[in-house]
Every structure is written in C-alpha cells, then in structure tokens.
Amino acid sequence: MSSSLNSSSSKIHHLLVVDDEPTLLRILQVILTRAKYRVELCSTAKDALLALSKTPFDLVITDAMMPEMSGYDLAKAIRTQKAFQVLPILMLTGKKNRQDIKKALNAGVTDYVMKPVDEPLLLEKLKTLLRDSQDSRGKNTPS
C-alpha cells in the first residue's frame, strides 16, 4: 500500500529535507526513497536556500531547531520569495507545545509533524500536501 502513495500521477515528486541530525536525514532518505520520492538532503538552512535557488522542489521538510538558522527562519526566508509562496513546507520537530506550532504556522509552515517520525502519518501528510499543492498550481497550467 505504501508504494502507491506517490503514484497518483506519473510525476516523481522532488523533496528537500533539512535537518542537522545526520541519523535522521538518513532515516528520512530511506523512508522517502522507498515511497518513491526523489530526495535531496541538506544539513543547514543556508544550504537549503542555496539548493532552492538552483533546483525546483515540490516540498520542503525542515526541522525547527538547527544551528545558525532555524527552520522557522528558513520558512520565513522561503516565503519572502514570490516563486515559493505556495511551496509546501512541512516542519518535522520534537517541539510540541501550542506556541511552537503557532510560531511555525506564522513563519509560513504548511503543516507540522512531531518527532519521533511516525512513517505512515508522515507519508499521508506528504501525499495530501503534494496533492493540494498540485491542485492549486495546476488549475491554470496545461498538463
């Protein structure tokens, strides 16, 4: 069943994953690759912004707390660019109180998932975010 999560269209979605924990990056790469996503990994928000400036992505997954530049600041920086106004951003973090969630949403995060990673929940949220994003962008775009 999980192999069909990314098969609603023939497009293979390209995801950017940003986290300063190498072990979590590897885990996410395995989960997402197995679910048929194309994955690029970054260990800093600055590297993520550079990757976004060079390559089109369908969705960004970011941690909240990272050195130098937080996931909140990354989301704000992404949202300042017109080309990324509707790019889905999923925050994956251990921060779970209401204030943290509100801060993430105010920064421009589209959805929020708690650590440790619940693989079925993560994949279902990705599927929904990508479908909704494709629907909102694709209405006036020829196939």
> What is the value of pTM for the model shown?
0.88
pLDDT tens digits, 59-94: 999 999 999 999 999 999 999 999 999 999 999 988
The confidence band for 1, taking pLDDT boundaries of 50, 70 and 90, is very low
Query: Do residues 28 and 53 touch, judged by C-beta distance below 8 A?
Result: no
Q: Over 50: is that where the pLDDT of 22 sits?
A: yes
End-to-end CA distance of the chain: 27
Domain boundaries along the sequence of the chain: 12-133
Q: State in words which class domain 12-133 has.
A: alpha beta
Q: What pLDDT sits at residue 2?
A: 39
Among 55, 128, 60, smallest CA distance to 91 is for 60
pLDDT tens digits, 129-141: 999 988 776 544 4
Tokens encoding 110: 């589209």
